[in-house]
Amino acid sequence: MHTPSQRPFLGKIKHFHKAILFMLIAYASIVIMGVFVKVSSSNIPPSQILFFRFFIGLLFILPFVFNSSQFNFKMHNFKYSLLRNAAGLLSMLLMFYSLKYLPVSTAILLTNTSTLFVPLFMLLIFKNRTSWSTILCTVLGFAGICIIFYTPQAEINSLYLSIGVLSAAFAALAYIGIKQLSKDHSALEIIFYFYASSSIAIPLFTAYGWVWPSWTDTLSLLMVGIFGLAFQIFITKAFKLSDISEITPFIFTGVILSALSDWLVWSNAPSGRFWVGAAVIVLSVSLLAKLKAPEQTATLPR
């Protein structure tokens, strides 16, 4: 029988285990989404795949919007809303484009480097002072990216690797927008505006090149929307149950699962240098999360 003093500790352990489970489900979801994005991109433009990602997700969250008595349709901070939505949309568009040409493992790993850009943008936008520890961790992370860039893996163009890194940079800007918007808006409001604005914006710019999907492609696009939303839900649940610094190292499971998918679906096994670069990046991101843990600012906009 547990004493009263033991119960809070045991409760924390239980929440930690749940958080790990949710992280595993989240990264399994984004890997499956990435596989379907890559499969669909052989017939469907990446921008159109992204439209279905947002539109299907929007259909799923609309019932929660209309059933919420506290939901506010009025956006209080237009500047940061524009930053969050525009940067988030560009980030995902570049990510989907990189998935067409890069292995799923490489594209997803580069997406997770967005944390490295946050201190830089916070310095440029808000003139926030950055500690030497943060600078060293950031440099370490970029060293990991350089290792990935110089991986002698067949048919990987540096241009597409650069697109993956640029996707992470825009994601970092989106994180900053989320941080500012979260002062006045709920997570549901922020996600709704992102999904709704993206569902409207993408067809305006890509309607000319629209490709009607086959039944097989339609099924793949549906999977992109479902598993993309599943990632959003479970990563949010994980961050609610445990400290960011404690569960961030588990993003490495996403790298392992995505490498497994590359091997099973495309018979493409990552090189040893890729794993070294991945380990350096995950270590850097985990240390940055540890340094920023008191602020609890990390949020995923996907």
Distance, in Å, from the CA atom of 108 to the CA atom of 2, rounded to the nearest integer, reads: 42
Residue 6 lies in a domain: no
Lowest-confidence region among 146-150, 214-218, 248-252: 248-252
Residue 3 lies in a domain: no
Residue 15 lies in a domain: no
- Cα dihedral across residues 224, 230, 235, 236: positive or negative: positive
Q: Are 258 and 270 in contact (CB under 8 A)?
A: no
- Top mean pLDDT of 35-49, 70-84, 147-161, 194-208 is at 35-49
Torsion of CA 273, 274, 278, 281, to 10 degrees: 70
- Top mean pLDDT of 65-79, 116-130, 191-205 is at 191-205
Lowest-confidence region among 39-53, 95-109, 146-160: 146-160
Residue 302 lies in a domain: no
Distance, in Å, from the CA atom of 87 to the CA atom of 117, rounded to the nearest integer, reads: 13
pLDDT mean across residues, the chain: 85
For 271, phi then psi, to 5°, come to -75, 170
Q: Are 36 and 220 in contact (CB under 8 A)?
A: yes
Residue 158 lies in a domain: yes
Residue 296 lies in a domain: no
Sequence-ordered list of residues with C-beta below 8 angstroms from that of 13, at least 6 positions apart, any chain: none
- pLDDT at residue 119 in the model: 84
pLDDT per position as a tens digit, 245-298: 666 677 778 889 999 999 999 998 888 888 999 999 989 988 888 876 555 444
Determine the angle formed by the axes of helices 187-206 and 46-67, rounding to 10 degrees: 140
Q: Are 251 and 112 in contact (CB under 8 A)?
A: yes
Mean pLDDT, range 148-171, rounded to an integer:
82
- pLDDT at residue 4 in the model: 54
Sequence-ordered list of residues with C-beta below 8 angstroms from that of 111, at least 6 positions apart, any chain: 95, 164, 167, 168, 171
Q: Are 83 and 173 in contact (CB under 8 A)?
A: yes
Enter the tokens of residue 190: 């922020």
Residue 195 lies in a domain: yes
Residue 89 lies in a domain: yes
Domain span at residue 60 reads 23-291
Considering its fold, how many domains does the chain have in total? 1
Q: Are 247 and 19 in contact (CB under 8 A)?
A: yes
Judged against a pLDDT cut of 60, whether residue 45 lies above it is answered with yes
pLDDT per position as a tens digit, 91-113: 999 999 999 999 999 999 998 89
Q: Are 174 and 88 in contact (CB under 8 A)?
A: yes
